[in-house]
């Protein structure tokens, strides 16, 4: 990656109060704040990690991380939080070259996470506006040359592609997909679903138990940051607690 920031790049502007602004650099454009105007030309050509001043306000300028983009990008639906995205990669054991079926693409946060890990993603989405938002977000982050194939299709009606190494779902009724996953997922492959309520998890676990799946596991991830200063070390008053449950299982071979 280039050291100097260039036209067309997205950058994160971070002020002294840790407020973050995602900006795409354009020649002649400006970022407007209540403390003054910051011309993009003052950023273009500077090294990443520079501090830029506008009036009395200073901004640290860095390229955004994937987590930054997920939280700041345009949304057609609620995104999966970064704390869960990282856990999904490990629990589903996503690796370069894996063929992954994703259903319920939302705003594309999970898609870009899977793609960044090197997977090839076939995505099913029933709402065309969500599919368009997801593709725009994915290509803005990763470029056009990604292995990302979206279909406007209801995964509960069947899976016509495959076989897949992994199936990852972000949808309200994943238990309806389990019978189709038996045929589309290779033996040893991982099935994973992200769900907001424990009642949904229970219904999914019952469906998995009735089909050739084993090693089922359901977890939730809690994230707590800490306040660390010279005379004060304590947990922060707020934490990102429950967002969703991750339920995974392994497809076993037919006897």
* pLDDT tens digits along 78-101: 778 899 999 999 999 999 999 999
For residue 162, what pLDDT band results from cuts at 50, 70 and 90? confident
Is pLDDT at 5 greater than 60 in this prediction? yes
pLDDT number for residue 15: 87
pLDDT number for residue 209: 97
End-to-end CA distance of the chain: 50
Percentage of the chain modeled with pLDDT above 90: 69
* pLDDT tens digits along 126-144: 999 999 999 999 998 898 8
**3-class state of residue 188 by DSSP:** strand
For residue 16, what pLDDT band results from cuts at 50, 70 and 90? confident
pLDDT number for residue 78: 74
Percentage of the chain modeled with pLDDT above 70: 98
For residue 208, what pLDDT band results from cuts at 50, 70 and 90? very high
For 15, residues 6+ apart whose C-beta sits below 8 A from its C-beta are 57, 58, 59, 60
* DSSP code of residue 223: B
Task: Give the chain's domains with CATH numbers.
Answer: 10-64 (3.10.330.20), 68-251 (3.40.50.150)
For residue 76, what pLDDT band results from cuts at 50, 70 and 90? low
* Strand intervals (E) in 67-212: 99-103, 120-125, 148-152, 164-169, 185-195
* Strand intervals (E) in the chain: 10-14, 20-24, 30-33, 36-39, 50-54, 57-62, 99-103, 120-125, 148-152, 164-169, 185-195, 213-220, 226-229, 232-235, 245-251
Per-residue buried b or exposed e for 23-46, using 16+ beta carbons within 10 Å of the residue's own CB? bebeeeeebebeeeebebebbbee
């Amino acid at each position: 990656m280039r050291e100097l920031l260039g036209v067309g790049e997205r950058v994160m502007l971070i002020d002294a109060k840790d407020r973050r602004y995602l900006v795409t650099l354009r020649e002649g454009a400006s970022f407007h704040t209540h403390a003054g105007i910051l011309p993009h030309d003052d950023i273009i050509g500077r090294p990443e990690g520079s501090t830029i001043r506008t009036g009395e306000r200073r901004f640290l300028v860095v390229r955004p991380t994937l987590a930054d983009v997920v939280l700041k990008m345009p949304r057609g639906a609620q995104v999966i939080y970064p704390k869960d995205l990282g856990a999904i990669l490990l629990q589903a054991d996503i690796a370069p070259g894996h063929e992954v079926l994703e259903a319920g693409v939302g705003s594309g946060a999970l898609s870009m996470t899977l793609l960044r890990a090197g997977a090839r993603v076939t995505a099913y989405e029933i709402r065309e506006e969500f599919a368009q938002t997801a593709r725009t977000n994915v290509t803005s982050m990763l470029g056009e040359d990604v292995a990302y194939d979206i279909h406007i299709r209801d995964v509960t009606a069947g899976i016509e592609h495959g076989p897949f190494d992994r199936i990852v779902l972000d949808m309200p009724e994943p238990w309806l997909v389990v019978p189709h996953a038996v045929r589309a997922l290779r033996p040893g492959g991982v099935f994973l679903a992200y769900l907001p309520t424990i009642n949904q998890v229970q219904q999914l676990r019952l469906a998995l138990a009735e089909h050739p799946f084993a090693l089922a596991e359901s977890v939730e991830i809690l994230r707590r940051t800490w306040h660390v200063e010279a005379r004060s070390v304590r947990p922060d008053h707020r934490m990102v607690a429950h967002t969703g449950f991750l339920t995974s299982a392994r497809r076993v071979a037919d006897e």
